[in-house]
Amino acid sequence: MEARQLVWQDGAPAIDEQGRLLWGPVEESPPLFLGLNHGSPRFASVPHGDVPATAYAHFQLLSLLDATEAPTFAAALSLANWHRRHRHCSVCGQPTEPNRGGWSRACDSCGAEHYPRVDPVVIMLAEHDGRLLLGRQPQYPPGRYSALAGFVEPGESMEAAVARELKEEAGITVRDVRYLTSQPWPFPNSLMIGAWARADDDSLSIDSNELEDARWFSRGEVVTAMNNEPAALFQAPPGWAIARTLLEHWVNGLK
């Protein structure tokens, strides 16, 4: 099968009107091997210039992306971000080169080999007495509320990270933390770990450095928002976001 190379546009993998990734002819020695598609090798270069590190620059693009293309999109963008930021050896400071099909970088000076990192991030729903806690950050679109989230710290379990983040951002104490689902998030290289937790009470103490607002919503209010009804009290997360998947889990009884 013919090998193909990923097309980049504005610092991200380009997609067509059907939400499919765009592929072109292979240029000379592309450094990143993305796998096989029906036996056809797929490659990518590392684009020049700035690769956006935040999803907010590409909300419209993500909303158009076909779900089956998401793993390749995430792998290509995460690898490109990593290669652009790790051109020198963290051991001796000398230049490194792509290795193992772009899934590592090798230092000829000291022999060290470096691998792409994945940063775990917890994103969680807290429930109390049949109501759900959602918050909004200042950069969200007007009216948008979503699940709270934060990075897992060194030496911390997923459950501990969920409890700490909810305590820090909303001032609530939680228990019975339960894993629900996960999603790669290539802005720049995170793995979103979706969870649910039970809050001991509904008293909030919001960290204004992290959140603009946080509120409790009933199941009916969440459903109304997800259906985009005129009476909705908030704008729900878009369909491609793991926060939306978490809301769907909760509305359907955490199945």
pLDDT digits (tens, 9 = 90+) for 122-178: 999 999 999 999 999 998 889 999 999 999 999 999 999 999 999 999 999 999 999
Contact 185, 192 (CB under 8 A): yes
pLDDT value of position 185: 86
Residue-by-residue DSSP string for the chain: ---EEEPEETTEE-B-TTSPBPEE---S--SEEEEEETTEEEEE---SSPPP-SGGGGHHHHHHS-GGGHHHHHHHHHHHHHHHH--B-TTT--B-EEEGGGTEEE-TTT--EE----EEEEEEEEEETTEEEEEE-TTSPTTB-B-EEEEPPTT--HHHHHHHHHHHHH---EEEEEEEEEEEETTTTEEEEEEEEEES-------TTT-SEEEEEEHHHHHHHHTT-TT-SSBPPPTTSHHHHHHHHHHTT--
Residue ending a domain, among 84, 99, 131, is: 84
Question: Do residues 149 and 103 both lie within one domain?
Answer: no
109 and 123 both lie in a single domain: no
User: Domain holding 242: CATH number?
Assistant: 3.90.79.10
17 and 57 share one domain: yes
- Residue count (the chain): 255
**Domain extent at residue 74:** 4-84
Q: What is the mean pLDDT of residues 193-211?
A: 97
Q: Is the domain of 159 the same as that of 170? A: yes
Shared domain check, 71 and 90:
no
91 and 78 fall within a common domain: no
In this structure, the answer to whether residues 175 and 95 fall within a common structural domain is no
Specify the number of domains making up the chain: 3
The pLDDT of residue 149 is 97
Q: Is 131 in the same domain as 246?
A: yes
- pLDDT (tens digit per residue) in 225-254: 999 999 999 999 988 889 999 999 999 988
Residue 97 has pLDDT above 90, yes or no: yes
The pLDDT tens digits of the residues spanning 113-131 come to 999 999 999 999 999 999 9
Please write the tens of the pLDDT for every residue from 46-76: 887 655 555 555 566 677 788 888 889 989 9
Same domain? 112 vs 134: no
Residues 99 and 214 in one domain: no
Q: Are 184 and 71 in contact (CB under 8 A)?
A: yes
In a shared domain, residues 113 and 123? no
Q: Are residues 109 and 164 in the same domain?
A: no
